[in-house]
Structure 1
């Protein structure tokens, strides 16, 4: 039966110790099959909820005998409850990002030690799923992303279809990607998948359920759970570099958007407007440069000049994995 385990505890200089909890399914001596990690940042509320509700759903499946006890599953809903409790995105003492500290260092700074504690707990699993957020605040078309870390990534891209997300995105790593959990999982031979929910900082149980269903489809494909979940998409594969950015090139101000993620748009169609903060006149109309679907939308009511307001997946880039 499900076990609630203390993965590690870390003393902090200004508050009570940070304790990171996980929920295990399967026998304690079972092979390490899937590790699922939720929020590392304080505003990743939806990511935490997805993992917490997934724990509930897996517990029900386990009680019904619909999980393979010979395959161990670990779910870690939150790694940074400290920041979430005080509404800070990053570690509040020094503003560092835990997901830029892997594989960690047990004698380093606080966030390096947190990364080390987490990586020690999730290392050695065959598959790793991380609930992520983007560096820009906004709404996404839900998708699963694989960062290119070598030959293992190509196999992971083929496996990613099992989630049933609308999109599977391949990402070429930048320099900072080498210090993320996803990349380091792959270096240590774990198939790693970054799952992006629709939004960040808010909570939609409908959106969360869609993402949970996709993760359960993947667990079914890997033989962890024994049931068939209807629905899902035949995933479209695209490279992150193929997404077309639409920026507020001329000015900042109030931001009004006319489209949502997933909407089909035509070249020249109005996507949103930037209004003057003094008299609300229109300073810039943002239009689709190509035919495609909206992949990402800026959501804050204010926008700065040169900020990415939308990302469009071009129709000509759409293809399905063979």
Structure 2
């Protein structure tokens, strides 16, 4: 393992700020793995720490294929971790909404430009991302529909689902989108949670990446075959909302659970009286893909996203 400085800049209050990367193996730029971009992505940073340790062990054993290089960048925004903020501490901007970046722009834009320049030539790009909604979700690989995406390659991670999505305006300023546009096969890996550590799902995420790197001929590693992934379009997910009332959320199901049409899957509790203000029902048979985990929910908020079960 070799440590390298990806980018350095001076900041007004904290002196020099450096983004560090760790390289494994030598040769062609085979795979770049990106970790936390926001100061609340504890799970994503934790996964990177596990992966760094595992790749170091594999390198010591000579299990990284000769002529292949892997770059791991655990965090682009560790300053926000240090002060308990989600976004960049000086202007509350989001690094993952600043790509491809501007070397003469604001801090996050300069970081994005420098990182993009450093990682653009890797054949495969893997990002441990956080879901765009707060809550818990089924582990999956997400890909932008840029016309250059490959769901067959995404299947090689062996996670339960591959989710494709039409890029929205703000998606075009993300690393994943710009990687794909630049010719890198890019994948966002979602491991279930963000602001807390889930050791089990973190271990699955590490295994998924090692499985992919093995199948692409970058490392030699014996691992479980994983799942035969189901490919879904994000538009196929059915949103279930708290239409009638807001209040305390009492969930009865979690991501991965099967539900039957008409079942009560959550209650909304009146915070003043303790009475049930509303029941939330499953609108169809299916599987819970996403579940809100906030203690309180507002009226008309999305509580669940459901994978519809198709009947023959």
Normalising by structure 2, report the TM-score.
0.97
**Deviations 1:170-224, CA, capped at 9 Å, x for gaps:** 1111111111100000111001101111111101222110110011100001111
Q: Which moved more, 1:267-276 or 1:162-171?
A: 267-276
**Deviations 1:266-322, CA, capped at 9 Å, x for gaps:** 11112111111111211111111111110001001111222111000112299xxxx
The answer as to 2:19 corresponding to 1:51 is no
Deviation at 1:231, TM superposition (A): 4.3
**Deviations 1:216-244, CA, capped at 9 Å, x for gaps:** 10000111111220141111111000000
Tell me, in whole angstroms, the C-alpha distance in 2 between the residues paired with 1:85 and 1:178: 28
Q: Does the Cα contact within 8 Å between 1:25 and 1:69 map onto a contact in 2?
A: no
Q: Does the Cα contact within 8 Å between 2:36 and 2:129 map onto a contact in 1?
A: yes
**Where in structure 1 are there 5+ consecutive unaligned residues?**
none
The one of 214, 224, 230 equivalent to 2:218 is 224
Tell me, in whole angstroms, the C-alpha distance in 2 between the residues paired with 1:271 and 1:184: 39
Tell me, in whole angstroms, the C-alpha distance in 1 between the residues paired with 2:118 and 2:190: 22
Kindly report which structure 2 residues correspond to 1:82-161, keeping only aligned pairs within 5 A, or say none.
82-150=79-147, 152-153=148-149, 156-161=150-155
The one of 167, 182, 186 equivalent to 2:180 is 186
| Aligned residue pairs, count | 312
**Where does residue 80 of structure 1 map in the other structure?**
77
Deviation at 1:257, TM superposition (A): 0.7
Deviation at 1:78, TM superposition (A): 0.8
Q: Does the Cα contact within 8 Å between 1:238 and 1:317 map onto a contact in 2?
A: no
**Deviations 1:80-129, CA, capped at 9 Å, x for gaps:** 00111111111122111111110000100111011112212211100100
Tell me, in whole angstroms, the C-alpha distance in 2 between the residues paired with 1:313 and 1:277: 30
**Where does residue 277 of structure 1 map in the other structure?**
271
Tell me, in whole angstroms, the C-alpha distance in 1 between the residues paired with 2:21 and 2:292: 33
**Where does residue 301 of structure 1 map in the other structure?**
295
Tell me, in whole angstroms, the C-alpha distance in 2 between the residues paired with 1:16 and 1:166: 44
Calculate the aligned-residue CA RMSD, in Å.
1.3
**Where does residue 254 of structure 2 map in the other structure?**
260
**Where in structure 2 are there 5+ consecutive unaligned residues?**
none
Tell me, in whole angstroms, the C-alpha distance in 2 between the residues paired with 1:233 and 1:63: 29
Tell me, in whole angstroms, the C-alpha distance in 1 between the residues paired with 2:106 and 2:244: 41
Tell me, in whole angstroms, the C-alpha distance in 2 between the residues paired with 1:310 and 1:18: 39
**Where does residue 160 of structure 2 map in the other structure?**
166
Normalising by structure 1, report the TM-score.
0.94
Tell me, in whole angstroms, the C-alpha distance in 1 between the residues paired with 2:290 and 2:164: 16
Tell me, in whole angstroms, the C-alpha distance in 2 between the residues paired with 1:121 and 1:282: 54
Q: Does the Cα contact within 8 Å between 2:210 and 2:221 map onto a contact in 1?
A: no
> What SS does structure 1 have at the residue aligned with 2:20?
strand
**Where does residue 12 of structure 2 map in the other structure?**
13
Deviation at 1:61, TM superposition (A): 0.9
Tell me, in whole angstroms, the C-alpha distance in 2 between the residues paired with 1:182 and 1:74: 16
> What SS does structure 1 have at the residue aligned with 2:47?
helix
> What SS does structure 2 have at the residue aligned with 1:286?
strand
**Where does residue 22 of structure 1 map in the other structure?**
21
Tell me, in whole angstroms, the C-alpha distance in 1 between the residues paired with 2:4 and 2:66: 17
